[in-house]
Structure 1
Amino acid sequence: MGNFKGLKKLGRWEVLIQGQKGYKERQNLRNTILISGGGFYDNSGGEIKIGEWIEYMYESGNGQPKNKLLRYQGEYRNGKKFGRWECTCEGTNAKGGGFYDQNGDKIGKWKEIISDKEIIFYGEYYQGKRVGQWKIISQADHEQENKEFIIGGGTYDQTGRKTGKWTLCNSFKSIQKQENMKMTYKLVFGLLFIHYIKMKPISILFVAWVIMIKDQKMVNGQNQVIWTLVHIEQVIRVFIKKVVRLDLEQFSLIGGGSYDTKGEGVKSGVWIELIKKDYNDDILYFGQYQKDKKVGKWRLFIYSKQNHEDDIYKDVVQFTTGFSNDHQQIGHDNDANRGLVQNFEQQRITLMLKFIHNLFSGGGSYDTECEGLKTGGWFELIDVDSKNGEILYYGQYQKDKKVGKWQFFQYGSWCRNNAPFRNLLQFITGLTDDRQDIGQDNYAYESGVQDLKKLIMLPFIHKLFSGGGSYDSDGSGMKIGQWIERKDECHIYCGEYKDNKKIGLWKELNQQKRIKSCMNYDDEGNEIYRSGFPQKILRIGEFKGKKKIGRWSILTTETSANQDEIGGGSYDSDGSGMKIGKWIELKDEYNIYCGEYKDNKKIGLWKELNQQKRIKSCMNYDDEGNEIYRSGFPQKILRIGEFRGDKKVGRWEILLQKQISKCDSSIISGGGTYDEEGYGMKIGRWIDFSDGITTFIVEDGEYKANKKVGLWKKYLLTSEDADEQMLVGCSNYDDQGIEIYKSQMPSKLIFIGEVRCCKKVGEWKILRWVEDFNTKKKSYIQIGGGYYNEGIKIGKWEEVINYTQNIDWLLRLAGEYSNGKKVGRWDIFRFKNFLEVVFMMMMELKLETGSSTLILIIFFKVDMKKEKNLVDGTFSITIMIQLQVDYIMEVWILSRANGLKQKIMKEEASSIVESINQGRKLEDGILLGAWIQINQLLQEEENILME
């Protein structure tokens, strides 16, 4: 709970946690805060913790619910933990802590609370890594004695990795009675045996009389039936008697076997060996020893602790051990024993099938010569912790050496419900789903054999196939050819082996099959190149010796939907390591270069592109790789094209880059053509840009032999509004490139058109410089114009006359020309600044006396109407000059020195309105009839508006 600045925390923040009470207590204490903590963030908005902090974290043992709260207290400096930090476990007496250095790394002696079982790791940190001797300590149930009990530990090397011998435990309860949990050797019935026991409120024996496996054919054709733990049945009974007064439900026997009677420590008979332990499952090996060598079939399976809750297992335990749940010996003659036997026999097959379906994971065979050599097909467990199931290897052994094709696949719980897998189980167990014995001679058994080869090895394995490769066929166990190897649960390696050595290109792929990194090896298996993670850029290709050859790709390791190639090119194939042909190279994280190499030298045109694939700059190189031209960034004008020698040839593009924001830009293009002969002469139409910083002049016209000819128009661009080109002038050139006419900025009145042979031709435009009073934006707008024919005006024209020196006061004449002379009706208009009239701008000015004056601009509208043809061919023109009374209610003029205001009412202003009576047709440019004396009228108007 605290404050935000934008989306960032700052200032004091409180951590409030409600207690873990029962339902009724939670109802009563719903809004009661039982635990609090927190600290300060700095005010920079970077969410940097500073000062003293109290933090909480839920912690638990492996896989257990998070029901214990750990409290951490210490100091932050610049967002990193510093100095002494203490840790306590709420509701217990477990305490820990240690020191952080200025980089936020743990240093010195530390006590770490690992789980809610009051187990502490005690040892030393160096630069954030555990080093040296570490102890596992228990503090439970010894408060009154104030003692600590060392229950495990081991050694870390200088890199923080475990080394040497270690003693580990998964939970505190599993070591509470450690004096009864040891490897125990007992001599019973002349056999030396070993027990692995652990605590669990369930049965003593996880399986006995359970697995019926038709394991191997005997010489006489009979099947030998091996009962899994029948050989150690007496051992179990004797051992249980030795631990009298201990709760039977606290123990579970998960493995063991027998040694010879000579005391030489030679294993013999049936054994269950523990390979690996984790929280939920134990990985066990089950098979037979002869003279301390493994022989025949050996099974790899997973022993799930969930099976302990099955009532059938409890019955098996009682039947096997001879003890009931109330610790009473059953005996073989009473009713309880007979009931157990009957119940077990009835459910034996169901139990066995359930066990096989849930636990079988792999295995294979050893030779029968007691040499302990693996032979034939094998399923082997890869030493990988997987959340989605076990990772198994499948392939063939020959004299303990892997040969031929080996594949690895992920074996999850869903496999056990797969139809081909059920067929495999039937073949292994010799039983059908309806609990009928298949037998060796019937069709079902033979079908099971075929299923093993076809239904299992093909559909099942291929469906789950995740990788693998081949070993040589001579039994030397060397990897050869293409391999897919598993690095861990999320990553695999792909590449080639030769004589058990990695060669060439190897790729590391993640779960999404995206390339994460790559490595290259020489023919001796030595790594010569590595690229990719943790760097963001990945370069992939092949080597010849220690030189790059062939196609190389440049990729990004960042997560996205597709891992697209962002660059790359080719090296020559002879092993000289020279770049050739087209290449896309990375300049940095945001920009790339595109161009061509020849003999490892840049030649021709190279372009620099940004993230949006927009051209940022360009460079030109000669055939020797020397840069001869550069254009673009940091300048805003970019000229792109090719050279021949040191002369420009062909089409050249001219780009103006408009910076809209830091991450986007738009391009306005121009350019033209140079001759192909290599003289560097401009020809044809060109759109050229002048260099500038905030404004740019664009010229549009034609070149002939590198000389400007004809009409060239000029446009103005600004960096703020480069999308709009404003016509600001023109120039005309003769065939020799000499300028013969020019009209352009800064004149407020310009005339745009073409001059040919010193005569105006075609369309001409008259432009006036005006200002938009809303946006304050200035621009040229067309106010007149017409057409010339060989220097003679023709057709409709609108002319402009500046009768004063003030550009804001113009006369506009509209009419028609014939052979350069005015004919017909001509109208005369007078307008002040056009936009002033349209928007009726009102300005409030403050006078020296503090009074306000409002000026309303008087607009005289010339209304041409009531045109009437007369009998004599003349016509009458009535020109009404009237005030716009809808807008002007009163006119205020500037006050004089005394600050008094004078008002001119509309009646007084209307006295300047005059009527013009008659006019006549213009014939051959000669005035006829009555005409209005415009100059006199305007003078009167100006006298009114002056002061």
Structure 2
Amino acid sequence: MFQPNLIEKDMIYTTFNWDYANERFIYSKLIIILTQQKEIQYIKNGAIIRIDTIKDISKTPQVLHNFQQIKYLQWCGKYGLNDQKVGKWFAKWNCETIIDVGGIYSDDGKKQGLWKEMIKNYWIKAQAYEIGQYVSDLRNGTWKQIYEDKEIGGGDYNKQGQKEGKWKEFWDGFWHYSQVFYLGEYQNGNKVGRWDILCYDEIIGGGLYDKGIKLGYWIEVSDRFYEGSYITHKGQYKNGQKVGRWDICYQNKHIGGGSYEEGIKDGNWVEVSDEFQDSSQITYEGEYKKGKQIGKWNILFEKIVIGGGSYDGGIKIGNWVEVSDEFSEFSQVTVYGEYKNGQKDGKWDICYKEYWEKNAQSMKIGGGLYDEGIKSAKWVEVQDRFQKDAQVFYNGEYKNNKKVGRWDIFFQNTHIGGGQYDEGIKVGNWIELSDEFRVDSQVKYIGEYKNGKKIGKWEIMVKDEWNLRPFYYIGGGLYDEEGEEFKLGKWVDVADDKWFLTYTGEYQNGKKVGIWVEIDIYNNKNLQIGEKNYEN
């Protein structure tokens, strides 16, 4: 249940987006605030990208952690007298109705009858669904799991809403390049007996359950397992806890691991980064004592030490060299500085090395000051995916860990944009860059913010990779002046992954209506390649 007297607090989550150019995930920080005004605010880089109103306080509000869902997903329907959902509800993705997704709520706000629901991890490359019956808000009977219009899994629920009997079910991280399933049996909602882990219907792992508790030898997949990051973990469970030696494998080859004592890491370990893949083979080597890292730990890239530092009882101390969250062969960004009592303190430098300069030293490209873990004073930061063709810098000031005043944006040392922050929130006129900004995709947006929300006229500008002419207009339109960030009237939108694909049509209160035309503007050919009719 939502607590009306909830103290307002920033919650920081890691969310992902797909890097179409490099075929990899980009992870970034997202601030989510549940306010005393019964709102959920989603803030990224100082812009409030979504606000949801909490209507039904009898239920725990759904908080989205998936960036594409935050950006594109909307549920449509009616609320009853007690602010509970009633009647038919359906889902839209980027203003387009998702076929058959949704169902009926009873007058007391409970799901009833046939429903088609999206998987929890739903995004553009994970358009998978579950279809079945609800009885008084509980799943009941046979439920089917669907991907690419094919039934590929499912099973039965009992009258208590518990899974029962044989099941083939989606892995929590299921998506197009990670079509992983679990195959086994439930009894009264508990997994029992042998469970297999399948990828594209080939068994790649699994183990035994006893009343929902893992036991014996297991092969598991990593939390971010997919074709480009084929990481598995192999070892023993005892009473649901990992024990003894566990090995970490990449593409079925041993690359790391260590020992557990009753579920607690102990002794020497080689661990892999969360983003480990072919172009980002980062490992960490050091020692655990009763689950806490101690002494010297090294950071290695392709088995060569590139950083590290010391731990004292699981707390970082002294000088450290760390790698960026998006470190890869093509984005070799490291940070240098000192920890005091587990917090960054004093001067920290951001450094970069080109991937072909194997023996060269990293050069300083940015940095700033920390005061007991809090950013302060002048900073030069770089974009998440900083590399040769995407060298974007942000230059400005922090106060109490929040951006304040003027921040400027540079691309390859040329001033290209920026604007004002007030206590970490964007205000006033801004020129900002697309998330995919790089040499061959130079897209920027020009307009005004009011309390972190876009208002009024916004223009979309682009520059070709050959720099044959300056930035020129390709799209844009109007946002409402009330700060609801509703698009109004005629708009020309641009595709997230291809700047040369534009979509022209009309918005009413933030919703697409009428005919929208898709145009390919590459090399000024202005070729219409499709159109879509949106219901009014």
The TM-score with structure 1 as length reference comes to 0.24
Please identify which structure carries the higher helix content. Answer: 1
Higher relative contact order (CA 8 A, sep 6+): 2
Please identify which structure carries the higher strand content. Answer: 2
